Amino acid sequence: MAEPHDTLELWDYRRRVADIYRDVRSSSPDLAAWQRWRAERDRLLADHPQSALDAAQRVAFDGLEYFPYDPAWRFAAEIEAADGESAELRHSAAGSTGSTLFGVANLFIGAHSVTLNLYWLDDYGGGVFLPFRDETNGEASYGGGRYLLDTAKGADLGHVETKVVLDFNYAYHPSCAYNPMWSCPLAPPANHIDLPVRAGERLAEE
């Protein structure tokens, strides 16, 4: 059982993440809102005791790297109902996370038709989870993919009427991309986008 102060710190961390995304949802979808999101993420990783970075990494940390902001990577996607089948999302290390496939997002990226599965997590009391892979993985971004939505942990970009907002400028790496001490759910093959998504968090350039 975790010590009470550890639980309170985690509670605070998740509250602050939720506050960051609340600001995103209540702001105009523009460069300024994205820059605030970036700055607050950097602050949490650098200073918060529940940061995914270890102590040595925090000392050397000078901010995450991102592709340039591009409003063309923001979509409002129609969601089709899925059959509700169970899915085990494999982790970067041991284990997996149980989930239910509840919907499919349909969008066009340029001339490319893209479908992405949306999962409802069985853990954490439930929550919408949308991880994805793309052609930048393993070079410009983490090989296991990135996350776009994880509402159980506050990462929620909202809705436009009945459509779900998918803004790839807000794509981010899972904790295991920073440190192998973490075991994170990876994007399944079904959520591979067959083109490079040059938006959102990226690996540091050499």
Q: Where are the domains of the chain?
A: 4-202
Give the residue among 143, 132, 136, 142 at the shortest CA–CA distance from 166: 132
**What is the per-residue pLDDT for 178?**
93
Instruction: Say how far apart CA 164 and CA 120 lie, in whole Å.
Output: 15
75's tokens: 């979509």
Residue 206 has a pLDDT of 63
Q: Give which of 8, 66, 9, 72 is closest to 39, Cα–Cα.
A: 66
pLDDT of residue 126: 83
Task: Look at residue 61 in the predicted model and tell me its pLDDT.
Answer: 94
The residue among 189, 196, 205, 159 whose CA lies nearest residue 24 is: 159
Sequence letter at residue 192 = H
Q: For residue 4, what pLDDT is reported?
A: 65
pTM assigned to the model = 0.94
Neighbours of 102 (CB within 10 A): 16
| 79-82: Cβ within 8 A, 24+ apart | 79/103, 79/104, 79/105, 79/106, 79/118, 79/162, 79/163, 79/164, 80/104, 80/106, 82/117, 82/118
pLDDT at residue 95, rounded to an integer:
83
Nearest to 11 by CA among 57, 46, 43, 49: 49
pLDDT of residue 182: 87
Tens-digit pLDDT profile for the chain (206 aa)? 556 677 899 889 999 999 999 999 999 999 999 999 999 999 999 999 999 999 999 999 999 999 999 999 999 999 999 988 898 998 998 888 899 999 999 999 999 999 999 999 997 778 999 999 999 999 999 999 999 999 988 999 998 888 999 999 999 999 999 988 889 999 999 999 999 999 999 998 86
